[in-house]
Amino acid sequence: MDVAKSMVDALDLEDVEVQGSLSVRPFNVGQRVPKITKILQLDKIQEAITAIKAKGNLNLLANWSDFGYATLDQLEAMARVLEARNRFRLVQFTLDWIDGVEWHIQDAVHPFTDVCDYTKQEYMKSVKGMCLGEVRLGPEWSLGCSLVDFRENLWLHTSSIISVMLALQHMYANVGFVNPSYHDFAGLSVKKKTAAGFGAMDSSNDRIIAVICLDHHWVAYLLDKRTKVCYTFDPLQLTANLATVKSSVQNVIEPQIGMQNKITYMEIDWCKQRDSSSCGVWCLVVLELLLSESPWADSLYKVQPYLRMRYLYKAIAVQETEVAHDED
């Protein structure tokens, strides 16, 4: 990241706020390609890119009376610079957060003690080395920089959930995980196909884990094929949400693994989120406790920042693996 940031900073483009209206026109006879020394707002850039493409002539110029001219290539380059700057800011926010995280080691319990002795410098090195652009996660693509939502008390996005479930799959044997996106689809056939996208229904998997989103709220389940028990979890402990989870498993998962009407459902009630945004983190924590057959401890509430930092570290490692695999 440091090298990329240095390259962007070296461009030395001054930010300006353009107030004038946009016009799109061809080059004048003999007019040279404009030289860009300043950079305007992203919404203005996007408006100009759209306007030029709408004309069907990519060689047109965008013009503002209080800025000057810019070609389509220059506009797209400016957009990339602004996006890069934004990603660097997000990374810096994350580094600052890591620097301020505090926790007591004795409050962390198995299996979350595996990286307790890591220094903050090791976590920061991982963040600085992460891919900020597109990475492939199985059948899906995401932005590597989206993992910074593990910091503070931010709500986790789908790519963060998938990355950690990939990590859990690597950490625990014979575990398959369901694509979280399946629940968003209306058609049952599409739901089933999407749910199986990461190989969750493979016969070699003894346990299947999932985290799905219900109206901007994460819930989870673990289906143990060996014991024919499905553990369902809602961080808010709402009956309606747990009923939705059970129905989803019965309609989408059970038929694909040949276990219709053979599953016993058990609700996990020993963990409840204490804020409005940590549902995803507690879903991952509960799944890992179940996978490791470890008991819950109330002290885990005290180390939520550490748990977030730990999952960030593991998610970055998985994305690095996936990027390297894709390049082979």
Q: What is the pLDDT along the chain (328 residues), one digit of tens a residue?
A: 554 555 555 566 778 899 989 999 999 888 899 998 889 999 999 999 999 999 999 999 999 999 999 999 999 999 988 988 888 899 999 999 999 999 999 999 999 999 999 999 999 999 998 888 888 777 777 777 888 999 999 999 999 999 999 999 999 999 999 999 999 998 999 999 999 999 999 999 999 999 999 999 999 999 999 999 999 999 999 999 999 999 999 999 999 999 999 999 999 999 999 999 999 999 999 999 999 999 999 999 999 999 999 999 999 998 755 555 554 4
Encoded tokens for 42: 């992203």
User: Which pLDDT value is given to residue 33?
Assistant: 92
C-beta pairs of 66-73 under 8 Å, 24+ apart in sequence: 66/18, 66/19, 66/20, 67/16, 67/18, 67/20, 67/38, 67/40, 68/34, 69/34, 70/34, 70/36, 71/33, 71/34
38-51, pLDDT tens digit by residue? Answer: 899 999 999 999 99
Go through 250-274 and write b for each residue having 16 or more CB atoms within 10 A of its CB, e for each that does not.
Answer: bebbbebbebeeebebeebeebebe
The pTM score is 0.85
Phi, psi of 71 (to 5 degrees): -80, 170
The answer on 43 and 189 residing in a single domain is no
207: helix, strand or coil? strand
The answer on 67 and 8 residing in a single domain is yes
**CA distance linking residue 271 with residue 156, whole number of Å:** 18
Within-domain flag for 93: no
**CA distance linking residue 4 with residue 230, whole number of Å:** 46
Within-domain flag for 61: yes
**CA distance linking residue 93 with residue 90, whole number of Å:** 5
The answer on 244 and 204 residing in a single domain is yes
State how many domains the chain has.
2
User: Which pLDDT value is given to residue 60?
Assistant: 94
For 70, residues 6+ apart whose C-beta sits below 8 A from its C-beta are 34, 36, 48, 61, 62, 63, 78
The DSSP code sequence of 102-146 is ---GGG--TTTTTTTT--HHHHHHHHHTS--SEEEETTEEEEGGG
The answer on 73 and 118 residing in a single domain is no
Which of 52, 83, 114 delimits the end of a domain? Answer: 83
Q: Which domain holds residue 7?
A: 2-83
Which of 36, 57, 83 delimits the end of a domain? Answer: 83
User: Which pLDDT value is given to residue 5?
Assistant: 57
